[in-house]
């Protein structure tokens, strides 16, 4: 394949967070939170799940069924062995992108939720902020940074922490070269204001200041 054949840019891909994300969390979280870092467990029934603050998230792969026969499309994978390695291994992802002629991709999260809402279920805002920032650093530095120019970095907004916190995170990730921020499309479902008022102006102003794009992925399950 010639480089000039790679002309597609996909803006609705997902990353299935790899088990190694646990080690990244432990290396980048403050010491007092390291033992609370999410991790992958193999359950008694043989399926994989992420264990997050005592909650098991089994739909880690959503419908990551690329490479399966059509009859199996729509099946939710239950283990990492049942998903294509390119969904969670960045090197295999690049190989798949090369085969498909995809020059670059924007990768939404899987189990953390489009706005990082799985992290925000805790009432410990300091812990939530640390988790959101650690995830964003992993996505920008480890995932996208492994192949500069092949991914469009996308940061979680952490919207439940409020617009002032979001504004600071938008500026922080912009300094790292990330200018796309994933907001949840329905914040009112989490007791937050909707987007019709001026409550979110600080975060929107930060986006404008940094030249960052507000990204919505509609159809969030939670």
pLDDT digits (tens, 9 = 90+) for 63-76: 555 565 666 655 66
Q: What is the pLDDT of residue 75?
A: 64
Q: Is residue 81's pLDDT more than 90?
A: no
Instruction: Please indicate, yes or no, if residue 222 is contained in any of the structural domains.
Output: no
More confident: 146 or 83: 146
| Structure tokens that stand for 49 in this block | 């799940």
Q: 102-114 pLDDT, tens per residue?
A: 999 999 999 898 8
Instruction: Please indicate, yes or no, if residue 221 is contained in any of the structural domains.
Output: no
Instruction: Please indicate, yes or no, if residue 117 is contained in any of the structural domains.
Output: yes
Average pLDDT of 27-47?
94
Q: Report the CATH number that the domain containing residue 129 is assigned in CATH.
A: 3.20.20.140
Mapped to the 3 state alphabet, what secondary structure does the chain carry? CCHHHCCEEEEEEECCCCCCHHHHHHHHCCHHHHHHCCEEEECCCCCEEEEECCEEECCCCCCCCCCCCHHHCCCCCCCHHHCCHHHCCHHHHHHHHHHHCEEEEEEECCCCCCCCCCHHHCCCHHHHHHHHHHHHHHHHHHHHHHCCCCEECCEECCHHHCHHHHHHHHHHHHHCCCCEEEECCCHHHHCCCCCCCCCCHHHHHHHHHHCCEEEECCCCCC
Average pLDDT of 18-27?
96
Instruction: Please indicate, yes or no, if residue 131 is contained in any of the structural domains.
Output: yes
| Structure tokens that stand for 170 in this block | 């938008």
Domain count, the chain: 1
Range of the domain at 190: 3-216
Q: What is the pLDDT of residue 58?
A: 79
Q: Which among 65-74, 103-112, 119-128, 145-154 has the top mean pLDDT?
A: 145-154
Write down the mean pLDDT value for the chain: 89
């Amino acid at each position: 394949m010639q480089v000039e054949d790679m002309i597609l840019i996909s803006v609705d891909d997902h990353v299935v967070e790899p088990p190694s994300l646990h080690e990244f969390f432990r290396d980048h979280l403050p010491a007092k939170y390291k033992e609370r870092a999410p991790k992958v467990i193999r359950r008694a029934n043989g399926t994989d799940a992420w264990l997050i603050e005592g909650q098991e998230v089994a739909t880690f792969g959503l419908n990551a069924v690329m490479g399966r026969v059509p009859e199996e499309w729509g099946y939710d994978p239950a283990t990492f062995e049942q998903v294509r390695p390119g969904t969670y291994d960045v090197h295999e992802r690049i190989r798949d992108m090369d085969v498909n002629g995809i020059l670059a991709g924007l990768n939404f999260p899987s189990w953390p939720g489009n706005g990082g809402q799985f992290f925000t279920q805790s009432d410990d805002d300091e812990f939530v902020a640390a988790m959101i920032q650690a995830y964003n650093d992993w996505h920008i530095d480890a995932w996208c940074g492994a192949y500069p120019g092949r991914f469009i970095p996308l940061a979680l907004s952490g919207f439940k922490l409020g617009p002032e916190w979001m504004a600071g995170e938008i500026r922080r990730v912009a300094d790292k070269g990330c200018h796309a921020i994933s907001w949840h499309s329905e914040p009112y479902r989490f007791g937050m204001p909707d987007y019709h008022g001026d409550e979110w102006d600080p975060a929107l102003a930060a986006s404008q200041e940094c030249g960052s794009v507000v990204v919505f992925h509609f159809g969030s399950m939670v």
